[in-house]
Structure 1
Amino acid sequence: MTLEDWIAVPKDDGHGLELAEGVLIVTPQPSQRHEQAVLRLAAQLEPQLPITWGTLRRAELVVDSGPVPTVRLPDLLVGTEAGIEDNLPRWSPEHVCLVAEIMSEGTRRTDRVTKLDEYAEAGVENYWLIDMDDPMSLRAFRLMADRYENLGRQTGRIALPLLNSSVTIDLPALTGRRTAGQAG
């Protein structure tokens, strides 16, 4: 498929549609636990971001617009507020500072290997890979030149570099029960 062919494909909210080197990829609907983790990650990140950046769930990211294009649908991306206000139908890497993927049984290898290389080649500054197996962990990657530097696997409540600052993520809270002190 070309990028124009991709744009013409009707999107189905029940499944994840991606384009990998011109080939349509269909992934099953994420589990409820997976979706909860994505929403809670966004809720933790959003108030810590500068006002010029915001979080988006499952937004199209054009990793390669060439003759055999690749368009990914990351679980979460942090993009420019201007792009959000413009309601971009798909994002280019220069307007994105973070992509986060929460690994599922059917996506582990793609998230750990393929997307790691694709996002680095595209110039996405930060890539977070979250594993929901107990204990929940996050492996952070930061772009150095044209390759990702592995910042290590972390668990618990962690601080990570992002946008010339630091953000704190409480990993157990992404899927754990809410406590009496939480809103709701």
Structure 2
Amino acid sequence: MTALPEPVRRLAIAAPRRPLTIADYVALDEDDQFHAELQEGALVMTPSPEPEHNLIGLELAVQVRAQLPPELIAVPDVDIDLQLEPADGPATVRRPDLVVVRQIELDRRKSEGGVLRASNVVVVVEIVSPGSRRMDYHTKRDEYADAGIPHYWIIDSTAPMSLLALSLTEELGYVDNGEVTGTFTTTSPCPLTIELDKLG
């Protein structure tokens, strides 16, 4: 039997023997080798992203941040409580590659602690990694829609670099107009232009 890597073993020992709440998740130790999320109270661990993945996210954050109005902030690689259950229920926490969040949510988190809440996230971005395609295109798509996040962007770094922008509707959940390569433009949540070829 293969032993668990030490960081995973430490987290597994620290986690309660029941579905985790948001408070349980916040109390867990950080780790820089593994990427931890919660899916309906279950701790999900994946290896930390490759440097190329992080460079795409960094360039995207630079492009987005320069175009946002003062009330919106771009934050890379941050935990989001999707608020799919009451605070004492089995939590779902995702760590997208980038979020655009209202400044008031950063102010709330700074004063109250915890993690950012989906109710004030306006855009969530996932960069597809080897092994994350199904999770990004299906599972997280459903979760982010259920959380009421208005915009979900999926960036696929397979050449040519593409962006699939999904917008939330009341009747159909997320809808899209197909993948875009080259230059992506939108007017929601504010006017934005993303030069995809410069991402990586």
TM-score normalised over the length of structure 2: 0.82
Alpha-carbon shift at residue 11 of structure 1 (Å)? 1.5
1:71-86 residue pairs with structure 2 within 5 A?
71-86=93-108
Select between 89-98 and 129-138 the one with higher mean Cα deviation: 89-98
2: CA distance, partners of 1:151 / 1:121: 20
Percent of pairs identical after alignment?
Answer: 36
Name the counterpart of 2:174.
Answer: 148
Alpha-carbon shift at residue 85 of structure 1 (Å)? 4.2
- Structure 1 runs of 4+ aligned residues shifted over 2 Å read 82-89
Q: Secondary structure at the match of 1:43?
A: helix
2: CA distance, partners of 1:169 / 1:144: 23
Q: Are residue 135 (structure 1) and residue 160 (structure 2) matched?
A: yes
1: CA distance, partners of 2:188 / 2:114: 25
Q: Secondary structure at the match of 1:152?
A: coil
2: CA distance, partners of 1:25 / 1:167: 33
1: CA distance, partners of 2:100 / 2:193: 15
- The size of the alignment, in residue pairs, is 174
* 1:106-151, Cα deviation, whole Å (9 max, x unpaired): 2111010000000001000000000000001000000111601113
2: CA distance, partners of 1:103 / 1:56: 18
* 1:22-42, Cα deviation, whole Å (9 max, x unpaired): 110011110111000001000
Query: Which has the greater radius of gyration?
Result: 2
TM-score normalised over the length of structure 1: 0.89
1:9-158 residue pairs with structure 2 within 5 A?
9-63=28-82, 64-66=84-86, 67-86=89-108, 87=110, 89-145=114-170, 147-158=173-184
Unaligned runs of 5+ in 2: 1-19
2: CA distance, partners of 1:51 / 1:132: 29
Q: By percentage of residues, which structure has more strand?
A: 1
How large is the RMSD of aligned CA atoms in angstroms?
A: 1.4
* 1:37-89, Cα deviation, whole Å (9 max, x unpaired): 00100000011111101111111111124422100001100011233345354
